[in-house]
Chains A and B, each alone.
Chain A
Amino acid sequence: MAVSIQSLLSPLVKKDVLADLYTLTGLALGYPLALQDGEPVPAVLDVVVGWICDKFWNPLALPALRAVFLDYSAGDWLSLVAWLIYNRPRILAQSATGPIVVENHAAIFSGTIAVGQVRIRSTVTGKTYTNTTSGAVTAYVSGPFPVPPAALLSYQVLLNFEADEVGTPSNAQPGDISTTPVSAPSGIFVQTNASALLGSDVESDSNLILRARAAAASRSVGGPRKAYLDAALDPIGAFVSRNLTPPTIWGTAAPAILRVRIQEPAGSAPWTPSRAYALSDTVTNVEKLYIVTTAGTSAGSGGPTGTANAIVDGSVTWMYVGTVAVWLASASGPSGGTSSDVTSDVGKANVAIQMFCVPPGVTATVAAAVALSLDLGTITINVTAESLVTAEEARATATAALDAFFSTLPIGGARAIANGQGWVYANKVVGVIEQGAGVITANISLLVADVAVNVNQVVVPSHAVPIQVNIVSQGT
Chain B
Amino acid sequence: MLLADIAGLLPQWMLTTARRGFAGLMAGQAALVDALTEAIQEGRLAVLPGQLDVPGGNGFDNFDALPLIGRDRGIRQGLLESPFDYAARLRAWMDEWAASATPFEVLDQLAAILSPNPPVLRLVNGSGTWWTRSTSGDFILQTANGDGFLYNTNGSLSTASTNAHAWVWDTLADPKPYGFGDDQRFWIIIYAPCNAPLLSGISGTIGDGRLIGMGKGGPDATTIGTVAPSIETELIRNIVQEWRSAGLRCSHIIITFGAAIDYFNPDGSSPDYPDGTWGWPCKVIANIMSPARVTYARFWRAEPGGVAGSN
Contacts and interface: CB of A to CB of B under 8 A. Distances in A.
B245 to A, nearest CB: 5
A220 B64 contact: no
B93 A6 contact: no
B307 A5 contact: no
Interface stretch (B152-160, B223-231, B287-295, B297-305): B297-305
Interface string A362-379: 111000000000000000
A48 interface: yes
Contacts of A64: 43
A256 interface: no
A71 interface: yes
Contacts of B250: 266
Interface in B159-186: 178-182, 184-185
A71 B68 contact: yes
A269 interface: yes
A70 B71 contact: yes
Interface string A381-403: 00000000000000000000000
Nearest to A67: B47
Contact of B246 (A24, A40, A71, A262): A262
B309 A272 contact: yes
Contact of B307 (A39, A217, A267): A267
Interface stretch (B1-9, B139-147, B187-195, B212-220): B1-9
A65 B43 contact: yes
Interface stretch (B27-35, B199-207, B258-266): B27-35
Contacts of B305: 417-420
Contacts of A6: 64
Interface stretch (A28-36, A105-113, A145-153, A342-350): A28-36
Contacts of B179: 265, 270, 284, 286-287
A2 interface: yes
Nearest to B303: A267
Interface in B234-255: 241-250
A116 interface: no
Interface string A10-22: 0000000100111
A361 interface: yes
B268 interface: no
A226 B243 CA distance: 9
Interface in A276-290: 284, 286-287
B65 interface: yes
B36 A41 contact: no
Nearest to B184: A287
A136 to B, nearest CB: 53
A253 interface: no
A324 interface: yes
A69 interface: yes
Interface residues of A, number: 78
Contacts of A20: 31, 35
A71 B3 CA distance: 34
Nearest to B43: A65
Contacts of B306: 419
A29 B61 CA distance: 27
B197 interface: no
A286 B62 contact: no
Given A68-B47, A359-B245, A418-B305, A286 B181 contact: yes
Interface string A92-126: 00000000000000000000000000000000000
A364 B248 CA distance: 12
B43 A25 contact: no
Contacts of A221: 101
A115 to B, nearest CB: 44
Contacts of A417: 305
Nearest to B175: A301
Given A28-B27, A267-B304, A418-B304, 4 more contacts: A3-B61, A71-B68, A220-B99, A418-B303
5 contacts: A41-B22, A65-B43, A68-B47, A69-B68, A265-B247
Closest 10 CB pairs of A and B: A222-B101, A418-B305, A65-B43, A216-B97, A362-B247, A323-B247, A418-B304, A266-B249, A270-B178, A2-B61
Interface of A: 1-6, 8-9, 17, 20-22, 24-25, 28-31, 33, 35, 39-41, 44-45, 48-49, 52, 56-57, 61, 64-65, 68-72, 212-214, 216-217, 219-228, 262, 264-267, 269-270, 272, 284, 286-287, 322-324, 357-359, 361-364, 417-420
